[in-house]
């Protein structure tokens, strides 16, 4: 089975965030990565991360919390 590897920059682009935030996710153990000279993230790992943390507020990687019902409703209506 072939699995695509993304760089930190590519991962940041896919998540619509910046590279520092992706490094924070990796360093906090929230997103697994391989170190092959530089960090690489498997596509399957990224998909698992998105599924695992759907419905959570990851704004502060030091304080991950579940979204309240009102917050979930606002997100889904956008």
Confidence (pTM): 0.82
Instruction: Could you list the beta-strand ranges (E) of 1-71.
Output: 5-7, 34-36, 38-42, 56-57, 65-66
**Tens-place pLDDT, residues 6-51:** 999 999 999 999 999 999 999 999 999 999 999 999 999 999 999 9
End-to-end Cα distance, the chain: 35
Does residue 72 have a pLDDT over 60?
no
In 3D, which of 37, 32, 45 has the Cα closest to residue 4? Answer: 45
Q: At what angle do helices 8-15 and 19-27 cross, to 10 degrees?
A: 110
Domain ranges of the chain: 5-76
Token pair for residue 63?
A: 């304080």
- Residue 65 half-sphere exposure toward CB, CA atoms < 13 A: 6
């Amino acid at each position: 089975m072939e699995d695509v590897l993304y760089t930190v920059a590519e991962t940041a682009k896919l998540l619509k965030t910046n590279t520092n935030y992706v490094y924070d996710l990796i360093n906090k153990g929230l997103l697994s990565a391989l170190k092959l000279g530089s960090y690489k993230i498997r596509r399957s790992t990224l998909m698992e991360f998105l599924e695992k943390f759907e419905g959570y507020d990851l704004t502060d990687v030091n304080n991950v919390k579940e979204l309240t019902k009102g917050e979930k409703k606002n997100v889904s209506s956008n």
